[in-house]
Amino acid sequence: MAERVAVVGIGQTKYTATRGDVSLPGLLREAAFRALEDAHMTFDDIDCVVVGKAPDFFEGVMVPEYSLVSALGAVGKPIFRVHTAGSVSGSTAIVASQLVEGGIHGTVLTIGWEMQSCSEAMWALSVTMPFQQQLVAGAGGYFAPYIRQYIARSGAPDDTGILVALKDRQNALLNPYAHLHEHDITYESVRDSIMLWDPIRYSETCPSSDGAFAMVMTNEAGGDAAAAEGRQPAWIHATAMRSEPALAAGRDQVSPQAGKDCAASVFKQAGITNPRKEIDVAEVYVPFSWYEPMWLENLGFAEEGTGWQLTHDGVTARDGDLPFNPSGGVLSSNPIGASGMIRFGEAALQVRGMAGDRQIDGARKALGHAYGGAAQFYSMWVVGSDKP
Amino acid sequence: MSDSAPIELPEGLWSQPAVDTSAVDSITDVESVQLITTPAKFVYDYTPGVARTRFLRAIEQKRLVGQRCPETQKVYIPPAGVSPVSGLPTLEEVELGLDGTVVSYCIVNLDFTGNAQEIPYVSALILVDGSDIPIYGLVREIAPEDVHFGLRLKSVWVEPEEMTTSFENIKWWAPNGEPDVPKSELADYV
């Protein structure tokens, strides 16, 4: 019988374009200490550290898990590194949970981060190689043709993306950690922002952020002990990862099969038959606004071609019956290597009732979702206020 | 810059140790440096393997070659020598056309190419004739707003004396004047 796993500590930094006042290890320690404080623990209580990073050349710090050992209190302890592109810190959280679930470690610290101010992701994604076609337009240029294809297939109104961006950026105003706090944002200001990669506007694009996110996970006894002291744990109900080859002929990049399979698996393991009804809140990786309707369909919350209707009907708003990204999402904060774990951790904060002003009333079951690479890596978990 | 909220520490719990910064604080006569730019360069030898060697040798001669998956029959460009779907070696080489079809695209209003491109420009997913997986390419010689799904394109190459073993032999793609390919025939390629 596998161990039940509880998230008992969560720590994050304020996301910002240029942190400037701390080193990379310092940034990580800030998140780690906050997670330990939340868990009422110190490094002494941690059996193993699991870090996520992908790819190294975003920051130019190679194999960072080596140089971070002492900063993360891991001297003499196992440290484990995970590497799955943009989904990396979602996958990292899952690996950490499995080390507890399998009974290998009692308590694990996990962390994801990015210092985009010390890196040039656009450059890193545009390395010239003689044997490859040139992607002449950065990350948005990769995904924009698939978004255009989604719009053509679904017949979604042109302003669906505007509504998503407006919602997420307004949600971010309730999250003190969010990078972008655009108090004056309006439908018109999003609509009139420059069209970077038609059909993606500037205000429908994620920012470049510095930041780190850490979690402490522990076994059932540890979760029970926290609960006994009145500190609500987030119990992990299910985790799933899937991937598919990026360059496979006939691959559907608008709604990739690996995403569908991953969602089906995580909901089945969690005993969820009607995700639309049973999931109270979802933190979903939406780096470009149109990915909200696309993932609504891919995750099975809506029939194919109808995800945009949920956005227009306000279903994904804070006061809708399926709030998407009450934290403001990736559209409001994007420290790439932490963005997946932020989704997972914000889902956990919601079911712990500790999400502050961005708390969704009555959230007891939440989905965390991350994707990465050429939309070929997926990781997801379902967490709940009650034990699975 | 950072307005991180102070955290309430639980009673009696050891937390972040105080750091003695007096030695640093006493330095007042130097400019504070928070960021430095250090240009870096990697030079490496690349060994392309059999499939890509054949592809690059062909592209030097203004030919595009793909390889067919023996199980799915799909033709890959650029060939990697193995099918990502079946895992089998792709041993059959296929001579592809030099024309292609737009399966999707975006109009870019920001220069990602270091002033090499006038904006706006179009980055498209192009299905090369005879292949089964689209590649990204630049589309020129047409107004961006006139680009559409199914548009037929020809590849535009560098001068013969500039040809090397590189994808960059293709400067861009431009309309070839042929009738559009119906959308229904492109459904499997995005």
Domain membership of residue B38 (yes or no) is: no
The runs of H, that is alpha helices, within chain B are 22-25, 49-60
B46 with A129: Cβ contact below 8 A: yes
Domain membership of residue B57 (yes or no) is: yes
A198 with B109: Cβ contact below 8 A: yes
The span from the CA of A144 to the CA of A343, in Å, is 23
- Which domain covers residue B51, as residue numbers? 47-96
DSSP B160: G
The span from the CA of A302 to the CA of A297, in Å, is 5
Q: Is the peptide bond before A245 cis (omega within 30 degrees of 0)?
A: no
Domain match, B55 and B107 both: no
Domain match, B78 and B121 both: no
**Secondary-structure breakdown of chain A: helix, strand, coil percentages, each rounded to the nearest 5:** 40, 20, 45
Contact pairs from chain A to chain B, CB under 8 Å: 160
Q: In this predicted model, what pLDDT tens digit does every residue of B99-148 receive, in sequence order?
A: 999 999 999 888 766 656 788 889 999 999 999 999 999 999 999 999 99
Domain match, B178 and B102 both: yes
Q: How far is A39 from chain B (nearest CA, A)?
A: 10
Q: How far is A247 from chain B (nearest CA, A)?
A: 7
Q: How far is B187 from chain A (nearest CA, A)?
A: 9
Residues of A in contact with B103 (CB under 8 A): 145, 149
Residues of A in contact with B107 (CB under 8 A): 195, 197-198
Domain membership of residue B111 (yes or no) is: yes
Domain match, B105 and B161 both: yes
Domain membership of residue B37 (yes or no) is: no
ipTM: 0.85
Query: Are A169 and A180 in contact, with CB atoms under 8 Å apart?
Result: yes
Domain match, B172 and B119 both: yes
Q: Which residues are within 8 A (CB) of A316 and not within 5 positions of it... i.e. 6 or more apart?
A: A164, A167, A292, A296, A310, A322, A323, A324, A325
Domain membership of residue B15 (yes or no) is: no
Per-residue model confidence as pLDDT tens for chain A (388 residues): 589 999 999 999 999 999 888 999 999 999 999 999 999 999 999 999 999 987 887 887 889 999 999 999 999 999 999 988 778 899 999 999 999 999 999 999 999 999 988 877 766 766 666 666 666 667 788 899 999 999 999 999 999 999 999 999 999 999 999 999 999 999 999 999 999 999 999 999 999 999 999 999 999 999 999 999 999 999 999 999 999 998 899 999 999 999 999 999 999 999 999 999 999 999 999 999 999 999 999 999 999 999 999 999 999 999 999 999 999 999 999 999 999 999 999 999 999 999 999 999 999 999 999 999 889 999 999 999 999 9
Residues of A in contact with B78 (CB under 8 A): 131-133
What pLDDT does residue A117 have?
Answer: 87
Rounded (5°) CA angle A167-A169-A175: 110
| Facing B14 at nearest CB: one of A42, A176, A196 | A42
Domain membership of residue B7 (yes or no) is: no
Name the domain boundary from B96, B124, B158: B96
What domain count does chain B have? 2
Domain match, B77 and B104 both: no
Bridge partner residues of A241 (DSSP): A379
Give all domains of chain A, ordered by start, each with its CATH number: 6-121+208-228 (3.40.47.10), 138-207+236-384 (3.40.47.10)
DSSP B4: P
Q: How far is B142 from chain A (nearest CA, A)?
A: 16
Domain match, B102 and B176 both: yes
* Strand segments (E) across chain A: 6-12, 48-52, 79-82, 107-115, 195-198, 200-201, 210-218, 234-243, 281-283, 365-372, 377-384
The span from the CA of A253 to the CA of A384, in Å, is 31
Domain match, B131 and B146 both: yes
The span from the CA of B29 to the CA of A200, in Å, is 47
Query: Are A251 and A263 in contact, with CB atoms under 8 Å apart?
Result: no
Where does residue A237 rank: exposed (0-12), middle (13-18), buried (19+ CB within 10 A)? buried
Please report which confidence band the pLDDT of residue B13 belongs to, taking 50, 70 and 90 as the band edges: very low
The one-letter code for the residue type at A111 is I
In this structure, what token pair is assigned to residue A263? 């969602």
Domain membership of residue B32 (yes or no) is: no
Domain membership of residue B115 (yes or no) is: yes
Beta-carbon-side half-sphere exposure of residue A102 (alpha carbons within 13 Å): 8
Mutation site, A134, A208, A243, A290, interface B, largest B CB count within 10 A? A134
| pLDDT at residue B1 tops 50 | no
Secondary structure (3-state) at B122: strand
With helix as H, strand as E and coil as C, how does A189-239 read? HHHCCCEEEECEEHHHECCCCEEEEEEEEECHHHHHHHHHCCCCCEEEEEE
Domain match, B105 and B168 both: yes
State if pTM tops 0.95. no
Domain match, B92 and B120 both: no
Domain match, B128 and B117 both: yes
Query: Are B40 and A60 in contact, with CB atoms under 8 Å apart?
Result: yes
